[in-house]
Amino acid sequence: MSISPTVSPPPLESGDRLTRIEYERRYQQMPEKTKAELIEGVVYVASPVRANRHGRPHAKIITWLGMYGVATPGVDVQDNTTVRLDTDNEPQPDALLRIEPEVGGNSRITEDDYIEGAPELIVEVAASSASYDLNDKLNAYRRNGVQEYIVWQSYENRIDWFRLEAGRYISLEPDEAGIIRSRVFPGLWLAVNALREGNLAEVLAVLQQGIQTAEHQAFVQGLNSQA
């Protein structure tokens, strides 16, 4: 009796239409540094990442969120982590902020070390408004209940912060001081123009002001009371 040789799954290619299970099976066979996402049932394999258009903005976002995470026990910061949203969507956001499930968060880390469920806040660095980050991916995040979504369009140097209200994303505008304040994470303040201009020192100084507010202290106390 002849034995059929084992056939390896084909590599992931942009435009493939797959179930999440088949997507994960193929992803596991890809080279280690491959970045791919499943958005609305369609595979997107990332191109090489540019330094000024993506790497540097990404690093600034991670620094900003990381400082907030250090000051806020019960909140988890993640960088480029796969998120299982639903059967058609498994993105790998540039950055995210989530509340731990033990203190009321909507997502969890599975036994095989993926995030499952909707993180409370997701950040993406996109090339432009034509990117799928502002189209199919935005719709997937909205439908799955991601409460806040930030997109930094690197070519236009534009930052959009969306808040989920009644099932729709509403764009938040900076106040008179040029600051947007998170409604899900009290004290998470963003000096929008300072970030766009690359002034990370000012971004972190404004964040520190938010962290020192009574609202942030009450948020931390509330998280601790549920732990």
With a cut of 80, say whether residue 100 has pLDDT above it: yes
C-alpha 107/C-alpha 69 separation (Å) is: 16
With a cut of 70, say whether residue 7 has pLDDT above it: no
Q: What is the pLDDT of residue 44?
A: 92
Bridge partners (DSSP) listed for residue 225? none
Q: Give 132's contacts (C-beta < 8 A, 6+ positions apart).
A: 39, 44
Region 215-221: mean pLDDT is 97
C-alpha 126/C-alpha 154 separation (Å) is: 6
CATH topology of domain 50-226: tt1808, chain A (3.90.1570)
Q: What is the overall mean pLDDT for the chain? A: 93
The whole model's pTM is what? 0.93
Neighbours of 31 (CB within 10 A): 6
Q: Which residues of 152-164 are buried (b: 16+ CB within 10 A; e: fewer)?
A: bbbeeeebbbbbb
3-state secondary structure 41-70: CEEEECCCCCHHHHHHHHHHHHHHHHHHHH
* % of residues, the chain, pLDDT over 70: 96
- The ranges assigned to domains in the chain are 50-226
Structure tokens at 75: 């909140």
With a cut of 80, say whether residue 86 has pLDDT above it: yes
pLDDT digits (tens, 9 = 90+) for 177-197: 999 999 999 999 999 999 999
Q: What is the pLDDT of residue 227?
A: 65
With a cut of 70, say whether residue 5 has pLDDT above it: no
117: left (phi over 0), alpha (psi -120 to 50) or beta: left
With a cut of 60, say whether residue 95 has pLDDT above it: yes
Q: What is the pLDDT of residue 6?
A: 55
Q: What is the pLDDT of residue 33?
A: 80
With a cut of 80, say whether residue 137 has pLDDT above it: yes
Contact 125, 57 (CB under 8 A): yes
Bridge partners (DSSP) listed for residue 98? 76
Contact 77, 66 (CB under 8 A): yes
With a cut of 50, say whether residue 162 has pLDDT above it: yes
* Main-chain phi, psi angles of 169, to 5 degrees: -85, 125
Rounded (10°) angle between helices 200-211 and 56-70: 20
Tokens 């540097």 -> residue:
56
* Main-chain phi, psi angles of 48, to 5 degrees: -55, 145
Region 80-103: mean pLDDT is 96
Region 204-225: mean pLDDT is 96
Q: What is the pLDDT of residue 4?
A: 46
pLDDT digits (tens, 9 = 90+) for 42-75: 999 988 888 988 999 999 999 999 999 999 999 9
HSE toward the beta carbon, residue 184, CA cutoff 13 A:
24
